[in-house]
């Protein structure tokens, strides 16, 4: 499975003209990479428990997670500040 996401547009982005692919690897991990490159930018590895919880829809969840991450990276690269109203809790 391979999906292609157009990379962010604009002069200040770190990947101005490339496209990104989301690929399901043979071992079940999900990889985000540049379309013209074999190197991984991000790899998601869902546990078997998570795959069961997601009822086999882990690929769709990974695509959503990576798409939102790419959008956020594009906003940050264009200088749009991240809103921080309070403490950041990462969990």
User: For the segment 52-74, what is each residue's pLDDT rounded down to a tens digit?
Assistant: 999 999 999 999 999 898 888 88
The tally of domains found in the chain comes to: 1
Tokens of 58: 């882990």
pTM of the full predicted structure? 0.67
pLDDT at 7 over 60: no
Whether 27 is in a domain gets the answer yes
How many angstroms separate the CA atoms of 4 and 89, rounded? 31
10 confidence band (pLDDT: 50, 70, 90):
very low
76 confidence band (pLDDT: 50, 70, 90):
confident
Decide if 26 contacts 19 (C-beta within 8 A).
no
Decide if 30 contacts 59 (C-beta within 8 A).
yes
How many angstroms separate the CA atoms of 45 and 59, rounded? 10
Domain that holds residue 70: 2-77
**What are the φ and ψ backbone dihedral angles of 60, each rounded to 5 degrees?**
-65, -40
Tokens of 62: 């990974």
Whether 86 is in a domain gets the answer no
Tokens of 65: 């997670």
pLDDT at 31 over 50: yes
- pLDDT, residue 60, reads 95
Whether 46 is in a domain gets the answer yes
- pLDDT, residue 45, reads 97
- pLDDT, residue 1, reads 56
Whether 91 is in a domain gets the answer no
Report percent pLDDT > 90 for the chain.
Answer: 41
Residue with tokens 């919880």: 53
């Amino acid at each position: 499975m391979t999906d292609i996401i157009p990379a962010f547009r604009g002069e200040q982005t770190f990947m101005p003209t490339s496209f990104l692919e989301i690929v399901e690897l043979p071992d079940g991990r999900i990889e985000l990479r540049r379309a013209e490159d074999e190197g991984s930018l991000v790899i998601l590895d869902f546990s078997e428990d998570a795959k069961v919880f997601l009822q086999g829809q882990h690929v769709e969840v990974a695509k959503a997670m990576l798409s939102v991450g790419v959008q956020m990276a594009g906003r940050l690269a264009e200088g749009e500040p991240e809103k921080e109203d309070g403490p950041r809790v990462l969990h």
